[in-house]
């Protein structure tokens, strides 16, 4: 049986999006607060539609020497 490497969605995204800067800040605090409030407003407006803002996923990627299991919550983005 092949070994299975477990990784969270968050860790995979953080690794994938890494670039040459070790600073983790995305924006200023006021910008982040505005983004959170906008996201909450969208969530509140979609309650009648059985809208889920986040869903849990688990996905197995089968490889040659090992398998990779990706698990975690993801945000559903609507336009």
What pLDDT, in 10s, does the model give residues 58-78?
Answer: 999 999 999 999 999 887 665
**pLDDT at position 51, please?**
67
In contact, 5 and 67? CB cutoff 8 Å: yes
Evaluate if residue 11 carries a pLDDT over 50. yes
Lowest mean pLDDT, pick from 14-18, 50-54, 63-67, 69-73: 50-54
Tokens of 13: 């995204």
- Model pLDDT for residues 25-45, shown as the tens digit of each residue: 555 566 777 877 887 787 777
Which pLDDT score, from 0 to 100, does residue 79 have? 47
Report how far residue 67's alpha carbon sits from residue 69's, in angstroms, rounded to the nearest whole number. 7
The string over 41-73, giving b where at least 16 C-beta atoms fall within 10 Å of a residue's C-beta and e elsewhere, is eeeeeeeeeeeeeeeeeeeeeeeeeeeeebebe
Prediction pTM value: 0.55
């Amino acid at each position: 049986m092949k070994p299975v490497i477990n990784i969270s969605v968050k860790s995979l995204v953080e690794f994938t999006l890494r670039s040459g800067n070790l600073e983790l800040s995305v924006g200023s605090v006021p910008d982040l607060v505005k983004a959170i409030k906008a996201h909450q407003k969208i969530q509140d407006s979609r309650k009648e539609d059985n809208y889920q803002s986040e869903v849990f996923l688990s996905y197995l990627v089968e490889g040659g020497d090992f398998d990779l299991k990706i698990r975690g919550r993801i945000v559903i983005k609507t336009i």
